[in-house]
Structure 1
Amino acid sequence: MSARITPGARRDVGVATWAFAHVAGRVSGTEPPAVFLTLGRNRRLFRGWLHFAGRMMPGGRLPRRQTELVILRVAHLTGSEYEATQHRGLGRRAGLTDAELDRVADGPDAPGWAPRERLLLRVTDELHATDDLSDATWADLRAELDEPTCIEVLMLVGHYRMLATTLGVLRVQPDRPRR
């Protein structure tokens, strides 16, 4: 499928977004990320979104490894090829092994997860399935994390579900490796 809105050129997204996307591509070893060049077509919204998203990843309260597990689980549950591709690379950089990256698809009941990782995957699954958490899951989350971090986990799951929907509807294609 072809993109419904193609990634913008410098004149479409502005110099700052264009330069940011090119630097991000160099860092990730890909072409400039289509997520930035596509969403950047709405310049005002893009700047606000980038600030918001950056507060959770990479600037969140959770360790990056755990953040990437949540994002990868959302990508799996939503069928977001773009986010799965993008965050497999980021997950490796955060310390996830290839076996762990593959195991994300098996979910929280797969053997090998640390207790907090299993909990975060369970929270992600439950939020995806019901848009809520049972009292038992909430109690487990609160026993493990402080209030600000619990809020962040809920926002992280919701944000990446929203992003997966947007990227899917726009048919944004995964970024190719840099040549």
Structure 2
Amino acid sequence: MSARITPGTRRDVGLATWAFAHLAGRVSGTEPPAVFLTLGRHRRLFRGWLHFAGRMMPGGRLPRRETELVILRVAHLTGSEYEATQHRGLGRRAGLGDDEIDRVSDGPEAPGWSPRERLLLRATDELHTTRDLSDATWTELRAELDEPTCIELLMLVGHYEMLATTLGALRVQPDRRRG
């Protein structure tokens, strides 16, 4: 399927967004990320979204490795090929092994997760399925994470669910690797 809104040119997104996307592509070893050049067509909204998203990834309270586990699980649950493709590479850079990245699709009960990883994945699944957490899961999260980090986890899952919906409806294609 072709994109419903194609990634913008420098004129469409503005010099700052265009330069940012090209730098991000160089850093990740891909073409300039289509997510930036597509969403960047709405310049004002893009800047606010980028600031918000950056507070969770890469600037969040959760360790990057755990953030990537959660995002990869959301990508799997939502069927977001764009998110999955982007975050496999980012997950590797955050310290996830290929076996762990592959195991994300097996879910929280797959052997090999630490108790904390299993809890984060289970919370992600519950939020995806019910848009809520059981009292038992909440109690476990609060024993493991402080209040701000719990809030961040909830918003991280919700954000990537929203982004998967947007990217899917716009039919944004995964970025090609360079070289």
Q: Assess same fold via TM > 0.5.
A: yes
1:15-164 pair list within 5 angstroms:
15-164=15-164
Structure 1 residue 166 corresponds to structure 2 residue 170: no
TM-score, normalised to structure 2's length? Answer: 1.00
Describe the superposition over 1:109-138 as per-residue Cα deviations: whole angstroms up to 9, x where unpaired: 000001111000000000000000010010
CA distance in 1, matches of 2:3, 2:16: 23
Q: Which amino acid is 2:47 matched to?
A: R
Provide the C-alpha distance between the structure 1 equivalents of 2:115 and 2:23, rounded to a whole number of angstroms: 36
CA distance in 2, matches of 1:63, 1:53: 15
The CA distance in 1 between the partners of 2:37 and 2:17, in whole Å, is 7
Question: Where in structure 1 are there 5+ consecutive unaligned residues?
Answer: none
State the identity %: 88
User: Considering only aligned residues, what root-mean-square deviation do their CA atoms show, in Å?
Assistant: 0.3
After TM superposition, the runs of 4+ consecutive aligned structure 1 residues lying more than 6 A away are none
1:178: Cα distance to partner? 1.1
Distance 2:86 2:116 in 1: 23
In the alignment, structure 2 segments of 5+ residues that lack a partner are none
Alpha-carbon offset, residue 77 of structure 1? 0.0
For normalisation by structure 1, the TM-score amounts to: 1.00
DSSP-derived class of the 2:56 partner: coil
State the AA in 2 paired with 1:92.
R
1:22-57: CA deviation from partner (whole Å, max 9, x where unpaired): 000000000000000000000000000000000000
